[in-house]
């Protein structure tokens, strides 16, 4: 799946069933379903991408201290760009990770 393919799914009434968890969370958050996205982020609190997602979600929530904790867990500095730019970066990272997964 490409970035354009993923963003095209944003007009659908529900995320595609085949989306990996991180991309499903970003799809849900994009549609205002923060709590559902956060539930997904909490499913793997050891994976660096999941921790980055968790940081982003708390940044969006306005909880800078909690976001900072999750950026540290992700091994990443706080994202310097806008929230929209971070969402895009997370989508691209999630797509790259799914391209490398054994089930791809």
User: Over the stretch 24-78, which tens digit does the pLDDT of each residue have?
Assistant: 999 999 999 999 999 999 999 999 999 999 999 999 999 999 999 999 999 999 9
> Is residue 76 a part of any domain in this protein?
yes
Q: pLDDT digits over 72-91, tens only?
A: 999 999 999 999 999 999 99
Sign of CA dihedral 42, 45, 47, 53: positive
Domain extent, residue 88, equals 45-99
Q: What crossing angle do the helices spanning 48-61 and 34-41 adopt, rounded to 10°?
A: 150
Q: Is 67 within the bounds of a domain?
A: yes
Quote the pTM value: 0.92
Q: If you count them, how many residues does the chain have?
A: 104
Residue 34 lies in a domain: no
Distance between CA 33 and CA 52 in Å, rounded? 18
């Amino acid at each position: 799946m490409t970035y354009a393919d993923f963003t095209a799914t944003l007009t659908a009434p529900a995320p595609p069933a085949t989306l990996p968890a991180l991309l499903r969370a970003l799809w849900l958050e994009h549609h205002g379903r923060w709590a559902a996205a956060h539930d997904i982020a909490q499913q793997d609190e050891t994976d660096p991408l999941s921790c980055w997602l968790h940081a982003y979600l708390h940044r969006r929530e306005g909880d800078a201290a909690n976001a900072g904790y999750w950026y540290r867990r992700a091994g990443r500095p706080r994202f310097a760009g806008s929230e929209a730019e971070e969402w895009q970066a997370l989508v691209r990272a999630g797509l790259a990770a799914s391209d490398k997964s054994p089930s791809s």
